Each structure stands twice: as C-alpha cells, then as structure tokens.
Structure 1
Amino acid sequence: MNLLHSGLTYIDPRKLHSWAPDNTVQIIEIAACHSAHTSAAKTQGGHVYMWGQCRGQSVVLPHLTHFSCTDDVFACFATPAVSWRLLSVEPDDHLTVAESLKREFDNPNTADLKFLVDGKYIYAHKVLLKIRCEHFRSSLEDSEDDIVEMSEFSYPVYRAFLEYLYTDSINLPPEEAVGLLDLATFYRENRLKKLCQQTIKQGICEENAIALLSAAVKYDAQDLEEFCFRFCINHLTVVTQTSGFAEMDHDLLKNFISKASRVGAFKN
C-alpha cells in the first residue's frame, strides 16, 4: 500500500544556502505541508524542528521537538495528519538485504567478532568485514581471534567506520569526521574518504575552518583543501580572528598567506 498526500513538498537541503535556529545547525532534511501550513526540518545531529500552524497556534520561529524524524511532526501537529513522503507498508517480516545488514550491526547475539575500543565493545561479523573492506580481507584471513583491541582511533570514529561497512553511510559531526577521514586514509577506503569530506564541507564554519583546512592538507584531500581555503578567503576577517588561526602551524600559515595573496585577498 502506498500513501502520499499531494499537498506536501520536499525541499532538497543542498539548495538551502543557510537556515538554522542559531545560524550554525546543519539541515539535512526539510519539508512543508501547504494545506496545514506546517513545516519541519531535521539537523545533522538528529534534532527535529517545526514551525507554522500547531494545533491552532502559530509558531513563528523553528521550535525544537522531541521527535527523531520529520514524519512525526506532520502526523502529530498537522490537521489532518499527513505524510510528506511516499510510504510503503510491508509485512513486518519483510526486510531488504540492506535493511537486514543494518539491523545486524553491533548485534552481540549474531556477531563472531568484537572490537575493544576505549574500553567498550563493538560487535561485528567477520564475513561481512572481509567482503566490504580490503584491510579486513587480509587481516582476518587466517585469524581465529574473536576480540580485536584497537587503540589507534577513538571509539566514536571506529564505531562509525564499522557502521559504514554495514550501512554505506556515516553520521558524525565534522570534528569527528576529521578523525574518520584519517582512518579512511589509513585503510585506503576512497569512498569513505569522499563521504567524510562531504560531511566536513556541510559542517564548516568560521571557528573550525582552519582546523578543517589543516586536516585536509594532512590527509591529502585536495578537493576538501580547496573548499576550506575558499571558505576562509570568503570569511577572511572573522577567520583571522579565531583561536584556530592564531594557533595555525607555521608552514601552513605561510602557504595560506602566499596562496591568499595570489588570489587577491589582500588587495584592500
């Protein structure tokens, strides 16, 4: 059964130049119901906001809800209750291959391998890791160990890496994505490296721009390096007043000033 309300509109968040309750939140999903005059947005951090008509009241500014998805906003607050996206109702026992893999991530009941990171376990499946990652294909080939201790990377970063192997997506703030970019470079996971760069681009701001530029240079992410450099040039006055700029590595600072001069940043 398919359900769709024709009065709903989905707006691609990539086309939104800037929207946020505090001008720093990164929006990944936004939708609106014209008939109910209700709108909702979901941030990169998983928070859901709503504004518009709410049970007879007018909410002018985006209001933080307790929901985890935008669908719940329209189901709870819109009159009548609607859905902004096409829904497919399937039997409870029907799961696609991708959905089944996502469900099994970090499942101690079916896992045959545990990673010990920062004193905490992450449960995984050897066969899937070997299928999805060249590093594991070689390191687990003749290994009979069921516990692997990992000290090179933090728990959030390594968990995100393993989850990526199950879901083909990442969900990290830009600062953590820098650590995952380091891991992706170390394991030569080029697709993961691209996803990390996309996440970092979405989360860049004046305060972290220099740190992200430094990370891009360190991990030889040339596209990300150029993006961060252009951001710094476009926000040069604010960026040069941040603590990150004051603590900038000498060689990186020298190269930054030289490159900025060549593009005319200091004409005035």
Structure 2
Amino acid sequence: MSDGEARFGDPKVLAVEMSKILDSQDHSDIKFLVGEERKIFFGHKCILSARCEVFRAMFAEQSTKHSAADPYVLSDIKPPIFRALLEFLYTNKCTITADTSIDVLGAAIEYGLEDMARICVGYIRDSLSVDNVCEAIQAALTYCQDDLARECLTLIDGDPDAVFRSRGFTEMSEEALIYILQSDKLMADEGEILKAVKEWATVNSVVSGESMGDLCKHAIEHVRFPLIDPDELSFIEKENNRKKYIPIHLISHAWKFHAIKEVDRNDIQIRPRAGTLPKESLRAIGLAANK
C-alpha cells in the first residue's frame, strides 16, 4: 500500500490559528519570568521543545528541579524580544521593528533558530542606511553574519563621510572599526579617515577614561599614513606630540616613503584606496596630482 502524498494547507491559516495560543494561559504548562521586570509569559512545553532544541534541552535538564508551578526565570532577555521569539516558534513568523531587529537576531542565534535569524538579517539588510549601518555592521560581526557585514561595508565604502558623522560611528567596537579601515574601496582620502579614527578614539576615551592611544592601538595600524601629504603629515606629527595616540613607527614609515619614494607592492600602507586623492607626493604609486 502506498504511503500517500503529503500536501500542505495554507501556512498563513495555521499561523493565525496558532497565534491564538501564543502567550495564552489556556492549556499552558509552563511559565516564564522574563527580563529585569520579570514579565510573565505562558507557554506549552510540547510546542517549544518540538520547535527549539534549546528549550527541549532546558526542559529535560530542569525537569527534576522544577515543579509544574515553578516558573523559568530568563533575566537576560527583554520581554519584547522574548515575545518575538515565542511568536516565531508558534507561528513561524515574527514581528520586527527597527528598534528590535538586532536584539531579535541575537536571540535567534542564541536559541539556534536559523530561519528566524535569516528573517532578521533580511529585515536589517532591507533597512540599511547611513544612519544605522554602524549598528548593523557591529551586529553582523558579532553574530558572524558575513554576507550582511559585506553589504554594510559596501554602503560605508560609498559614503564614508556621512557614516563617520553618524551617531553610531563612535559607538562601534574597535573590531568593527578595523573591519572598515581594511577596505581598499573607501571613498575617502586618508587624512579624513585619520580624523574619523581620532574622533572615535576621543569620544570613547571620554566615556571609558582610557587613553586614546590604548583605545585605538590596533585600529590606528590600519590608517595608511604614507598616503597623507607631507604638509598635513607634519601637522599630524606635531599634534601627536601632545595627544600621543599614533605610534611613532607609523609616522616614521610615512616619512621614509616620502623621502626615498621606493614602492614595496606588498606594503598595504602605500596601497591607495578608491577615495585617495591624487597628490604630487604620491607620484611613485601613480597618483600624482594634475598640474
């Protein structure tokens, strides 16, 4: 006898029907206290354990420690994020906003929900702008979303000046800043890139109390000082005598390049970016200014 052919009904109808028991006390056999405010959510173990391996393991591990009346305390997730998580598990969709998308992505990854993570990444990608790209690239790097990180970088490459002036720029980690500084496609001259790094270090120094030099000691290595005109480089060197956020070897390397004009094609420091302006001092690498 044939096993038959499985055919599926309308998934939207199922989602609507399942949403009726989302966070419903009816027939619920599990309760969660979520966030610092200990907001109560109701759930059904059979649904949550079938849809999420993390919940299945949680219930199995703690079955001997919890009575049916004991709630599970989840203090490290915010209630709106947990509700989005439950919504996905019950209905296979989730409601995302600009304010919650990154936190929902983090929750999806923490709970091993790849489809939910894809939904979040798609929302973030579709919403990218110069105003939110710094927060997006930080999330992409934190949660190992390589394709999203590359899309963020493409946007940054095309309009770095606007991104450098955005509120999110100084809130990025040094890791994210380095990821940007490694790009050859940044449409910015090196002096402007250095100013952005200096601003990032200045703001974070005020916030953390650490020195600028300590905060940007890795990122500053990715600024290509030989691409800076000697007059501007001289001013930077004098300023650095006071602020001391640029290691001496980087400035010395730049002066050496300007003095002997020798080109080492393996030296990333002298590789022009897309936005490097032609200068007479860069004639050795084919970027002399037109007279």
How does the TM-score come out when normalised to structure 1? 0.59
What is the letter of the counterpart of residue 120 of structure 1? K
3-state DSSP of counterpart to 2:182 = helix
2:148 matched to 1:139?
A: no
Alignment match, 1:116: 33
The structure in which a higher percent of residues are helix is 2
Consecutive unaligned residues of structure 1, counting only runs of 5 or more, are 1-94
- From 152, 155, 177, give the equivalent of 1:253: 177
Deviation track 1:173-212 (CA, whole Å, cap 9, x = no partner) reads 1331111111122222111111110111122221211011
Alignment match, 1:173: 97
What is the letter of the counterpart of residue 88 of structure 2? Y
- From 63, 66, 83, give the equivalent of 1:159: 83
**Structure 1 residue 145, shift from structure 2 partner:** 4.1
Q: Take 2:175 and 2:86, find their aligned partners in 1: how far apart are those partners?
A: 35
CA contact (8 A) 2:160 2:186 kept: no
**Structure 1 residue 262, shift from structure 2 partner:** 7.3
Deviation track 1:42-73 (CA, whole Å, cap 9, x = no partner) reads xxxxxxxxxxxxxxxxxxxxxxxxxxxxxxxx
CA contact (8 A) 1:174 1:204 kept: no
CA contact (8 A) 1:116 1:148 kept: yes
Alignment match, 2:115: 191
Alignment match, 2:22: 105
**Structure 1 residue 260, shift from structure 2 partner:** 4.4
What is the letter of the counterpart of residue 133 of structure 2? A
Deviation track 1:202-247 (CA, whole Å, cap 9, x = no partner) reads 2222121101101110111111111211122233221111122133
3-state DSSP of counterpart to 2:76 = coil
Consecutive unaligned residues of structure 2, counting only runs of 5 or more, are 1-11, 188-272, 278-291
Note the aligned Cα RMSD (angstroms).
2.2
CA contact (8 A) 2:52 2:112 kept: no
Change (3 A) 1:201 1:111: same
Within a 5 Å distance, the mapping from 1:226-265 to structure 2 comes to: 226-261=150-185, 264-265=273-274
**Structure 1 residue 248, shift from structure 2 partner:** 2.9
3-state DSSP of counterpart to 2:183 = helix
3-state DSSP of counterpart to 1:104 = coil
Q: Take 1:182 and 1:225, find their aligned partners in 2: how far apart are those partners?
A: 15
Deviates more, 1:164-173 or 1:250-259: 250-259
Change (3 A) 1:106 1:216: same
CA contact (8 A) 2:157 2:185 kept: no
Max Rg structure: 2
Q: Take 2:184 and 2:108, find their aligned partners in 1: how far apart are those partners?
A: 29
Change (3 A) 1:235 1:189: same
